[in-house]
């Protein structure tokens, strides 16, 4: 007959009680960084487009 299974806690295995709660924080931090980077990329893109349009307008205004 097989021995009765023993219940082991995570503390016996060397895990701390906060180890499992770290993963969602990392995921949310990663998501926040991704959103910030996308916003920065959009700002840089729009600034480049604005400068292009401004210089194009200035080049056309002095030709007349």
CA–CA separation, 20 vs 43, rounded Å? 36
Task: Look at residue 6 in the predicted model and tell me its pLDDT.
Answer: 66
Give buried/exposed letters for 41-59 (b at 16+ CB in 10 A, else e): eeeeeeeeeeeeeeeeeee
CB contact at 8 A, 15 and 9? no
Check: pTM over 0.85? Answer yes or no.
no
Instruction: Return the SS3 of 30.
Output: helix
Low-confidence ranges of the chain (pLDDT < 50): none
Task: Look at residue 58 in the predicted model and tell me its pLDDT.
Answer: 77
Task: Look at residue 1 in the predicted model and tell me its pLDDT.
Answer: 65
**DSSP structural state of residue 2:** P
């Amino acid at each position: 007959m097989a021995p009765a299974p023993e219940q082991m806690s995570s503390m016996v295995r060397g895990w701390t009680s906060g180890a499992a709660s770290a993963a969602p924080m990392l995921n949310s931090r990663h998501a926040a960084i991704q959103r910030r980077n996308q916003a920065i990329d959009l700002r840089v893109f729009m600034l480049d487009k604005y400068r292009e349009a401004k210089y194009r307008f200035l080049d056309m205004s002095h030709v007349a």
